[in-house]
């Protein structure tokens, strides 16, 4: 292929793939199969690799990230990013409406009602239909340029879809209605489902959880490595078009146009004739907001006509033609009775507030998370205080402040514990980490128990004959002090039989279960060890990278960081765990008992017959390419097909799966599983 041919092909592929992306992500109406899409993307990737200089700035290959930004450039906004005035009550809303009516001198007008998305504001510049710059709000005057990160958001068009209008003059050139240079503003957010999935993985890895979707979106946008941003699956809603001589008369029209250009403009937006319409919109969403897959913290009300907006103008801080109605935060005041501390299986200490029971959003709240020492100090929370408790996005309510007027004058600042509440070892806090840790991993009760519970759990060694209570019983009876001791239990049968509720049959079951766990594949053994920050996914990545425990043990810190998706903190945590002599002894013992310390021949080839007789349909976006998923299914004896039918065993759903496939699967009673469940199915024979 000549260079010119390559350029033409790259241009065509870029255009076609962007069109398909839009059909898939924004409209959820794909017209080609995932397989065909992958083939086109691969062809483009190959051509771009050969001719990197021909890669277009709107190339869909940019969606996977890869660019690393050391420091974000500060950029001045062309139009300052103003905020909105807030109202919290029906009266304040009436006052706003009265001001607007007065300002417009009795003219007729309409309001546009929108949801107030709770994320991070972003300004996007499009020049000649192409996304050229993405800037955060910053202080409203200047913000950070985060273009590479924003390009990973799949619902944002890198190049706009130009809707061409024929016009009335038959001989005139058709006119595009996309302004040559304009800005569009919106809110970047993390869908609730994504937030929950990330936190589930973090909990399994014993890591600190993300606080809420809003902070997670903000933190993600400021990450330096756009490849990691791509995995965080952010989304973006658009709500404001700005520019010179825009071809619209109203805000509602501009939203419609933006939707046609390919932006995700939520369909929840409504045009209403008066305040009564606004009230109805608010009343509806005050309840319905809980069913959305994203957080909103209120409603935004905007005067529709641009001319009327201009007539009303701005105050120093915000437009006079718009206002935010904020939902009442679900917040109550109650007494803080005491602060207790929990020790997790990795030794992480979590302070917990014990509260005088209080009703909040329909449930009785007795406890609230206090997260860590810094938060306690920042809020200056003291035992005996009246504290405000809020139910935000998180499952566990949190303390957001203290009523200083009701503080007892004799109270004193809370002193964070210096020693473990369980084993009294001095706590440590590592640089850059928010939590204190108890370092006595092998002698601290809840850590020992937690580690063994984790080791035997279903997704780890899957010893289901050993429940939490039995583990505690075995520790109490001094039959085990670590998970390695489980493999000596067969020599202690008489002691086991002497335990309460332990008859011959349950002892045999227990010992059989332990014996069978020796066949559990290497990656799950790695997960079972309970190394801080090593969750299921990381364990899988480590196993497929190093292939054996020996190779991993020999890896330097740098070599660990080289593993895809392993960062500095994780690498250090692994290296420290391996360097501990107790752990090398533990590993030697486990190896001696015959646990899987390397990938099996079959795994090395990536082959098994675990999926024999099963038929799969895959749809959506996965952490690896769709081709890889298909290959995985085939290498394990399964069959891939394109559409859901009565013969389909599983529909494997990635992100943004087309709705038709889901509906059909539900109708035909075909089980829908995600990527992790597929892996589990291959490893354990069951997706659960």
Active site residues: 116
Q: What is the largest CA-CA distance in the chain?
A: 98
Best CA proximity match to 514, nearest among 480, 479, 549, 489: 489
Distances from the Cα of 98 to the Cα of 92, 274, 320, 586, 685, angstroms: 10, 11, 12, 74, 66
∠ Cα 669 674 675 (to 5°): 140
Residues β-bridged to residue 640? 616
Alpha carbon dihedral 492, 498, 500, 501, in 10-degree steps, equals 70
Exposed, middle or buried, 479 (CB in 10 Å: 0-12/13-18/19+)? middle
CB 206 to ligand IVH: min, Å:
34
Residue 618: partners with Cβ closer than 8 Å, 6 or more residues away: 34, 626, 629, 630, 633, 640, 651, 652, 654
650 touches 687 (CB < 8 A): yes
Q: DSSP letters of 512-531?
A: HHHHHGGGS-HHHHHHHT--
Pick the closer one to ligand IVH by CB: 272 or 614.
272
Pick the closer one to ligand IVH by CB: 136 or 440.
136
Pick the closer one to ligand IVH by CB: 139 or 476.
139
Question: How, if at all, do strands 363-369 and 349-360 pair?
Answer: antiparallel
Burial 590-599 (b: 16+ CB within 10 A, else e): beeeebbbbb
Pick the closer one to ligand IVH by CB: 239 or 577.
239
Distances from the Cα of 204 to the Cα of 187, 453, 455, 562, angstroms: 30, 12, 12, 23
Alpha carbon dihedral 470, 473, 478, 482, in 10-degree steps, equals 40
Q: DSSP letters of 587-606?
A: HHHHHHHT---B--HHHHHT
Pick the closer one to ligand IVH by CB: 148 or 322.
322
CB 114 to ligand IVH: min, Å:
4
Q: Which element (helix H / strand E) includes 240?
A: strand 235-242
Pick the closer one to ligand IVH by CB: 314 or 597.
314
CB 137 to ligand IVH: min, Å:
6
Distance of CA 562 to the CA centre of its chain: 23
CB 475 to ligand IVH: min, Å:
52
CB 82 to ligand IVH: min, Å:
5
Burial 517-533 (b: 16+ CB within 10 A, else e): beebbbbbbbbbbbbbb
What 8-state DSSP symbol labels residue 124? E
d(CA 601, CA 136): 50
CB 265 to ligand IVH: min, Å:
10
CB 615 to ligand IVH: min, Å:
44
Pick the closer one to ligand IVH by CB: 236 or 355.
236
Pick the closer one to ligand IVH by CB: 237 or 261.
237
What's the half-sphere exposure (Cβ side, CA atoms, 13 Å) at 57? 14
CB 392 to ligand IVH: min, Å:
16
Pick the closer one to ligand IVH by CB: 240 or 546.
240
CB 324 to ligand IVH: min, Å:
6
CB 160 to ligand IVH: min, Å:
20
CB 298 to ligand IVH: min, Å:
8
Q: Which residue is nearest to ligand IVH (CB)?
A: 121
Pick the closer one to ligand IVH by CB: 83 or 600.
83
Q: Which element (helix H / strand E) includes 623?
A: none
Residue 57 in tokens: 């700035």
**Alpha helices, H only, 131-225:** 147-150, 192-204, 213-221
Task: Note the residues at the interface with ligand IVH (CB under 6 A).
Answer: 82-84, 114, 116-117, 121, 137, 187, 239-240, 300, 319, 322, 324
Best CA proximity match to 610, nearest among 586, 639, 637, 628: 637
Helix, strand, coil content of the chain in percent (nearest 5)? 40, 20, 40
The owner of tokens 């790695």 is 526
Main-chain dihedrals φ then ψ at residue 205, nearest 5 degrees: -85, 0
Best CA proximity match to 606, nearest among 594, 586, 624: 624
Pick the closer one to ligand IVH by CB: 255 or 444.
255
Residue 551: partners with Cβ closer than 8 Å, 6 or more residues away: none
The owner of tokens 């007729």 is 108
What 8-state DSSP symbol labels residue 421? T
∠ Cα 563 200 539 (to 5°): 25
Distance of CA 604 to the CA centre of its chain: 31
CB 252 to ligand IVH: min, Å:
12
Pick the closer one to ligand IVH by CB: 242 or 475.
242
Question: How, if at all, do strands 74-76 and 142-144 pair?
Answer: antiparallel
Pick the closer one to ligand IVH by CB: 29 or 141.
141
Strand order in the sheet with 615-619: 639-640, 615-619, 650-653, 671-673
CB 292 to ligand IVH: min, Å:
13
């Amino acid at each position: 292929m000549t260079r010119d041919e390559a350029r033409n092909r790259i241009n065509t592929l870029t255009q076609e793939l962007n069109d398909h992306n839009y059909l898939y992500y924004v409209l959820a109406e794909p017209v080609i199969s995932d397989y065909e899409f992958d083939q086109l993307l691969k062809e483009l990737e190959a051509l771009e690799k050969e001719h990197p200089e021909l890669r277009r700035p709107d190339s869909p290959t940019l969606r996977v990230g890869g660019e690393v930004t050391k420091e974000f450039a500060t950029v001045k906004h062309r139009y300052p990013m103003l905020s909105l005035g807030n109202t919290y009550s029906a009266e304040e809303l009436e006052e706003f409406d009265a001001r607007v009516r007065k300002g417009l001198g009795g003219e007729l007008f309409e309001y546009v009602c929108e949801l107030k998305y709770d994320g991070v504001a972003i300004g996007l510049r499009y020049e000649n239909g192409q996304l050229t710059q993405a800037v955060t709000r910053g202080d409203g005057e200047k913000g950070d340029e985060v273009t590479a990160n924003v390009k990973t958001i799949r619902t944002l068009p890198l190049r706009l879809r130009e809707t061409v209008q024929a016009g009335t003059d038959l001989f005139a050139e058709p006119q595009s209605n996309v302004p040559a240079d304009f800005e569009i503003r919106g809110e970047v957010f993390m869908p609730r489902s994504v937030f929950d999935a990330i936190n589930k993985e973090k909990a399994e890895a014993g890591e600190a959880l993300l606080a809420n979707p809003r902070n997670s979106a903000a933190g993600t946008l400021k990450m330096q490595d756009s490849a990691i941003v791509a995995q965080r699956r952010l989304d973006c809603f658009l709500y404001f078009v700005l520019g010179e001589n825009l071809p619209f008369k109203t805000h509602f029209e501009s939203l419609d146009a933006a939707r046609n250009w390919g932006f995700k403009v939520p369909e929840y937006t409504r045009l209403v004739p008066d305040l009564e319409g606004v009230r109805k919109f608010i009343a509806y969403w005050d309840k319905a907001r809980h069913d959305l897959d994203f957080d909103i913290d209120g409603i935004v009300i905007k005067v529709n006509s641009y001319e009327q907006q201009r007539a009303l103008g701005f105050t120093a801080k915000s437009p006079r033609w718009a206002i935010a109605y904020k939902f009442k935060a679900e917040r109550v005041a109650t007494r803080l009775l005491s602060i207790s501390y929990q020790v997790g299986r990795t030794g992480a200490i979590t302070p917990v507030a014990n509260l005088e029971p209080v009703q909040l959003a329909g449930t009785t709240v007795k406890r609230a998370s206090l997260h860590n020492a810094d938060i306690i100090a920042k809020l200056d929370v003291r035992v005996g205080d009246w504290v405000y408790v809020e139910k935000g996005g998180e499952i566990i309510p949190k303390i957001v402040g203290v009523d200083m007027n009701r503080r007892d004058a004799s109270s004193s600042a809370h002193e964070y514990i210096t020693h473990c509440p369980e084993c009294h070892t001095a706590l440590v806090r590592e640089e850059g980490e928010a939590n204190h840790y108890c370092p006595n991993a092998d002698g601290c009760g809840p850590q020992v128990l937690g580690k063994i519970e984790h080791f035997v759990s279903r997704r780890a060694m899957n010893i289901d004959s050993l429940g939490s209570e039995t583990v505690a019983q075995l520790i109490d009876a001094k039959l085990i002090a670590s998970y390695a001791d489980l493999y000596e239990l067969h020599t202690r049968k008489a002691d086991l039989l002497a335990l309460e509720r332990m008859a011959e049959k349950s002892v045999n079951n227990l010992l059989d279960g332990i014996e069978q766990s020796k066949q559990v594949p290497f990656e799950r053994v790695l997960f079972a060890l309970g190394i801080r920050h090593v969750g299921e996914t990381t364990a899988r990545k480590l196993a497929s990278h190093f292939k054996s425990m020996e190779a991993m043990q020999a890896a330097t810190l740098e070599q660990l960081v080289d593993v895809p998706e392993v960062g500095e903190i994780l690498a250090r945590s692994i290296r420290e765990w391996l360097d501990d002599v107790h752990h090398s002894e533990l590993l030697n013992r486990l190896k001696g008992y015959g646990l899987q310390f390397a990938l099996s021949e079959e795994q090395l080839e990536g082959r098994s017959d675990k999926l024999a007789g099963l038929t799969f349909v895959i749809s959506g976006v996965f952490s690896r390419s769709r081709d890889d998923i298909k290959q995985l299914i085939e290498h394990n004896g399964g069959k891939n097909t394109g559409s859901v039918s009565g013969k389909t065993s599983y529909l494997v759903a990635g992100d943004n799966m087309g709705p038709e496939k889901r509906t059909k699967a539900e109708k035909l009673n075909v089980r829908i599983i995600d990527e992790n469940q597929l892996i589990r199915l291959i490893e354990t024979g069951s997706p659960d």
